[in-house]
Amino acid sequence: MTKTADEKAIREIINDRSKALYAKNFDQLVAHGGHEFVSFDLDPPLARMGDAARDKKGIEGWFATWKGPIGWEVRDVTIHADDHLALAYGLGHITGTKVEGNDVDLWVRFTNGFRKEGGDWKQIHAHTSTPFYMDGSNRAALDLKP
């Protein structure tokens, strides 16, 4: 697979995960997960590894906290790929309405790691974060926009 084809395949995985979030489709969301998948997400705990990162009950429980689809737009995606490992990073925009009625409009940073397994790219690492104000308040900087 050429570098361009590798980058295209990785972008397709990123886009497929966006579609899975929108549709709240667990199977589609985890379809591209590799062995030893690890997730560092916004919610506790600090890390989820292996089966804990693919916890259907937990993920579907989170889906249920949203009224309607979950928007996930990616911007400024950069991909670096060699023959076996790849890294993608950029900005993510999550939007939607929670069941309590509050609207979510949040920009985050993301980094995804990929490894070729059986000739196909699989996601092995997902990290999503928000910056926080360094003024001693420990407040997440949820008001930032690109």
User: Residue 146 and residue 92: Cα distance in Å, rounded?
Assistant: 10
Q: Hey, what domains does the chain have and what are their CATH numbers?
A: 3-129 (3.10.450.50)
pLDDT at 52: 84
**pLDDT of 20-74, one tens digit each?**
999 999 999 999 999 899 999 888 888 888 888 888 999 999 999 999 999 999 9
132: β partners: 140
Q: Which residue has tokens 């979950």?
A: 70
pLDDT averaged over every residue in the chain:
94
pLDDT at 1: 63
pLDDT at 54: 86
Per-residue CA distances from 145 to 41, 58, 107 (Å): 19, 29, 6
- Give this prediction's pTM: 0.90
pLDDT at 53: 85
